[in-house]
Amino acid sequence: MKSLEINGNLREATGKKDSKKLRDQELIPCVLYGGEKNIHFYASVPEFRPLIYTPDVYVVNLNIDGKVYPSILQDAQWHPVEEQMLHADFLQIEENKPVKVELPVTIEGTAKGIKVGGKMKVNVRKLKVKGLVKNLPDTIVVNVTELDLGQSFKVGDLNLEGVQILAAKSNVIATINITRAAKAAQTGKEGKK
């Protein structure tokens, strides 16, 4: 998995008033869970841009007052009206402990069905998975090259080694729909026979 570093400082005090003071200085209050004890810290808004504005999932090396904690972003709270991040929760990761994350789905290839006039519909853009961080891919690649008109690629068709997909095997990731033009082309071919 890709990684990036966020620099932060320990919070002296916690609570609504202190959090508001931090936000007024363009600092985001954060919590790191999963270690021996929860660590309350803050980081500046620009530190989060490469992490938030992307579909990718990162291992975040939190550098809090000089000590580095490998983690993943678990949750981010946003202001209901303004595009302002209010709070971030991180989960500390360990090499031998599985984590649950949502990975982006990447569609690859041109389906046979598209070449004859079909249209692809992508139903799933992210999939929740569980596994050790070392086994997690950056993205789940779905190759649709062999899909013909009316065929679908389902979660059960995926084969990710060392990663458990936390979705029903019958969930459709992508399907090739038959368009009117494709139907007309098919009936035209059948009529000429």
Per-residue pLDDT in tens (0 to 9) along the chain, 193 residues: 788 999 999 988 788 888 888 888 989 999 999 888 899 999 998 888 888 888 888 889 999 998 999 999 888 888 888 888 888 999 999 888 898 999 999 999 999 888 888 899 999 999 999 999 889 898 999 999 999 988 999 999 998 888 999 999 999 999 999 877 667 766 666 555 5
- pLDDT given for residue 29 in this prediction: 92
Burial of 112 (0-12, 13-18, 19+ CB in 10 A): middle
For the record, the structure tokens of 13 come out as: 């005090």
Report the side by side order of strands in the sheet with 152-154.
Answer: 119-122, 172-177, 152-154
Cα Dmax for the chain: 81
> What's the Rg (C-alpha) of the chain?
22
Whole-structure pTM value: 0.76
User: Which of 124-160 are b and which e, b meaning 16 or more Cβ less than 10 Å from the residue's Cβ?
Assistant: beebebebebeebbebbebebeebebeebbbbeebeb
- pLDDT given for residue 24 in this prediction: 87
- pLDDT given for residue 79 in this prediction: 85
- pLDDT given for residue 52 in this prediction: 86
- pLDDT given for residue 5 in this prediction: 92
Residue 113 and residue 43: Cα distance in Å, rounded?
A: 49
Burial of 49 (0-12, 13-18, 19+ CB in 10 A): exposed
Query: What is the SS3 assignment for 46?
Result: helix
DSSP E strands in the chain: the ranges are 2-10, 27-33, 39-44, 58-64, 67-78, 85-92, 99-108, 119-122, 126-131, 140-143, 152-154, 163-165, 172-177
For the record, the structure tokens of 6 come out as: 């966020």
Q: Are residues 84 and 78 in contact, defined by beta-carbon separation less than 8 angstroms?
A: yes
- pLDDT given for residue 106 in this prediction: 93
Q: Which residues pair with 142 in a beta bridge?
A: 107
If phi > 0 it is left, if psi is from -120 to 50 it is alpha, else beta; for residue 19 that is alpha
